[in-house]
Amino acid sequence: MGWIVLVVAGAALWWWSLALALRAYRGERMPLWATPTKAPGRAVVLRAAGTGLAVFGTAMASPALTTSAPAASVVAMATLIVLLLAPYIVGVAIHNRRVRAPE
């Protein structure tokens, strides 16, 4: 059950890094598919640590989820998409929508 702690901690670090990056882009649009160059160094470190913990935690959970390797891979990827990718896309999209488009 230690994998749950890793996944939750990884997701929390990832979300914290997203908040720091969005704060760095206050008043301007943040790139969605490019590396945010204005993100503070600690946001980059938190993102890397969060990703590592979440991936490691889901990899540890894969054998516990099912004995079939392909099904476990699908569940692991779905978990990472829901915990990491979706909040990033939604957070950046909401931020960019709130920021006034350049005229």
Start-end of H helices in 1-103: 2-24, 41-65, 69-80, 86-98
Q: pTM for the full model?
A: 0.80
The reply to whether 91 falls in a domain is yes
The reply to whether 103 falls in a domain is no
**Number of structural domains in the chain:** 1
Give the structural domain span for 23: 2-98
Q: Per residue in 59-76, pLDDT tens?
A: 887 666 556 667 667 777
Q: Per residue in 3-52, pLDDT tens?
A: 888 888 999 999 999 999 999 998 888 988 887 888 889 999 999 999 99
Residues 29, 66 contacting (CB under 8 angstroms): no
Residue 13: predicted pLDDT? 94
Residue 75: predicted pLDDT? 73
Residue with tokens 């569940």: 75
**Dist CA 61 CA 33 (whole Å):** 29
Can you read off the two tokens belonging to residue 78?
């779905």
The reply to whether 78 falls in a domain is yes
**CA 11 centroid distance within chain:** 6
